[in-house]
Amino acid sequence: MQRVTVYLDYLCPFAWWGLELAYVVAPQLGLDLVIQHYSLEQGDHPENASLPRNAPTWKLAEQPLEGPRSLRAFLASHAARQQGKAAHLRFALELFRLHHQDKRELNDDQTFVEVVGRAGLDLERFMADLEDEESRRLELARDLEQAGELGVFGTPTFVLPSGDAAYFRFTQLTTEPELALNLWELFAAVLYNGAHIETIKRPRK
Amino acid sequence: MQRVTVYLDYLCPFAWWGLELAYVVAPQLGLDLVIQHYSLEQGDHPENASLPRNAPTWKLAEQPLEGPRSLRAFLASHAARQQGKAAHLRFALELFRLHHQDKRELNDDQTFVEVVGRAGLDLERFMADLEDEESRRLELARDLEQAGELGVFGTPTFVLPSGDAAYFRFTQLTTEPELALNLWELFAAVLYNGAHIETIKRPRK
C-alpha cells in the first residue's frame, strides 16, 4: 500500500470534495489514505500573518474551546482517530457531509454523536477519548506543526507516496469511479511531471 | 488556427520559460500564439494592494520612463508588435533570453537594438515606432486593462482557445518537442477537466 496523506480543515468545502475524491480512488489504486489536520483559522490569523508557517504565535490547539469555529471539530477528529485509520476516515467524511451538505453546526457535540452513529464508531469510547482533551490538544498541536513544517497553506493538501505535495482545489465533485480516477491521475501527473510544475491557478475576475 | 494568448512580463523568468514552451508546441498543435502584457510592478504595487485588479490607481503606462524597471521594455515590445505577430514573438523570446540568460540590462536601448538584430526585425522602423511613445503607452495601457479585466495576477498566464485561463509556473524548462508537448497537454487537460480545477499549487517550505 502506498501512503497518501491529506491535510484538511472541516471548515473548508474544498477539503470535503478532495477527501471524497481520494476516498473513491484509494481502493482502486491501493492507496493507504491518512488524514492529518491544517487549520485555516490558525494559518490566516492576523497575529501569524508575517511569520513563517512553521513558527506561528497564535496556536489553535492552545485556544479556549469557545472561541474558534473549528477547534472542537478537530479535537473530535482526533478522538475518532483513536479507533483506527478507517474509522477516522469514515468519521471525517460524515462530519464534512453533515456540516457542508446538511448545514449542521460544526462545533457541536450533538453533531459529533450523529456522525459517530453514521460512521459506525463506538460512541462510548469516542466520548471518553474526546473528554481526554489534553491528549487530543497535544495531538492536534503535533499535526499543525507538521503542516507548518511542510508549508501547507490551504486545504486539501495532499502528500503523494513520492513525497510530492500540493494544494488541490476543484469545484465540481464527481464520485463516479472512472471520472474520479481520471481526475486523481491528472493531479498526480502534474506533480510527477519532469518540468517540476509548481502552480497552475486560474485567475478570478 | 486556434488562438492562445500569453500574458507576460519581461521581468519574470517563469514567463520566459512559459513562452519558450508555447513557442515549441504552437507549430505542433497549430496554435496561433499572441503576446499580451501584464505588469508585476503594477500588480504588486502597494498603492494597488487593496484595489480590484481591474481598478488600479498606480498605472505603469502613466509612469515616467526613468522609474519602473520594466516600462521601457514593454514599450519596446509594443514597438516590435507593429511589425506583426511573428516578429513580436521572436522579439519577445530574444529579449527574454538576452535579459535572463545573458544577464543584459532589460530597460536599455542598446539591448533592444541587439534583440531587433537577433529577431530579424527592421531596426529603423522599430526605432521610429519606439519614438512614438504616446501610441505605445496607449497600447500598453489597453493590454494592462485587459489583463485586469481577466483577473491576471502573475506571468505567464495563458488563455486557451476555450477561454479557460491560468497562471502556469514550472521550474525545469524543456524545449525537447515531445516533452514540451506532453507538458502543454497536461496543462490543457487540467483546465479542460470536468471537475473545474481552480488551483494546483505546491507548498513552499
| Domain range for B100 | 2-192
Q: Is B198 domain-assigned?
A: no
Coil vs helix vs strand at A184: helix
Q: What is the mean pLDDT of residues B173-185?
A: 94
Q: Is the pLDDT of residue B144 over 90?
A: yes
User: Does A198 reside within a domain?
Assistant: no
Q: So what's the pLDDT on residue B26?
A: 97
Contact residues for A158 (Cβ-Cβ < 8 A; gap 6+): A4, A5, A6, A7, A18, A22, A165, A166, A168, A187
Residues of B in contact with A13 (CB under 8 A): none
User: SS3 for B9-75, per residue?
Assistant: CCCCHHHHHHHHHHHHHHHHHCEEEEEEECCHHHHCCHHHCCCCCCCCCCCHHHCCCCCCCCHHHHH
For residue A92, what is the domain's CATH number? 3.40.30.10
Chain A closest-CA separation from residue B157 CA (Å): 8
Mean per-residue pLDDT over chain B, rounded: 97
pLDDT of B132 over the 90 cut: yes
Measure A167 CA to nearest chain B CA, in Å. 5
Instruction: Report which DSSP code applies to A10.
Output: T
Helix (H, G, I), strand (E, B) or coil at A8: strand
> Is residue B56 in a domain?
yes
Residue B205's pLDDT is what?
Answer: 81
**Which chain B residue is nearest to residue A163, measuring alpha carbons?**
B202
pLDDT of residue B162: 95
With respect to residue A197, please indicate whether it lies within any of the assigned structural domains.
no
Instruction: Determine the residue of chain B that is closest to A166 in CA distance.
Output: B202
Q: Is B109 helix (H, G, I), strand (E, B) or coil?
A: helix
So what's the pLDDT on residue B174? 86
Q: Is the minimum CB–CB distance between A187 and chain B shorter than 8 Å?
A: yes
Query: What pLDDT was estimated at residue A34?
Result: 97
Task: Please give, rounded to a whole number of angstroms, the shortest distance from the CA of A180 to a CA of chain B.
Answer: 9
Q: In this complex, is the C-beta atom of B12 within 8 Å of any C-beta atom belonging to chain A?
A: no
Does a structural domain hold residue B199? no
Q: Which three cell numbers stand for residue B8?
A: 507576460
Any CB–CB contact under 8 A between B22 and chain A? no
pLDDT of residue A174: 86
pTM over 0.90? The answer is: yes
Minimal Cβ distance to A167: which of B169, B179, B199: B199
A205 → closest Cβ in B150, B169, B200 = B150
DSSP string, A28-89: HHTEEEEEEE--HHHHT-GGGTTS-TT--SS-GGGS-TTSSSSHHHHHHHHHHHTT-HHHHH
Domain count, chain A: 1
User: In this model, does residue B65 exceed pLDDT 80?
Assistant: yes
Tell me which residue in B151, B187, B196 faces A203 most closely, judged by beta carbons.
Answer: B151
B142-157 average pLDDT score: 98
- DSSP codes, A140-178: HHHHHHHHHHHT--SS-EEE-TTS-EEEEEESS----HH
Position B61 in a domain = yes
Residues of chain A with pLDDT under 70: none
> How high is the pLDDT of residue A205?
81
pLDDT at B1 over 90: no
- Residue positions counted in chain B: 205
ipTM for the whole complex: 0.96
The reply to whether A83 falls in a domain is yes
Residue A119 domain-assigned?
yes
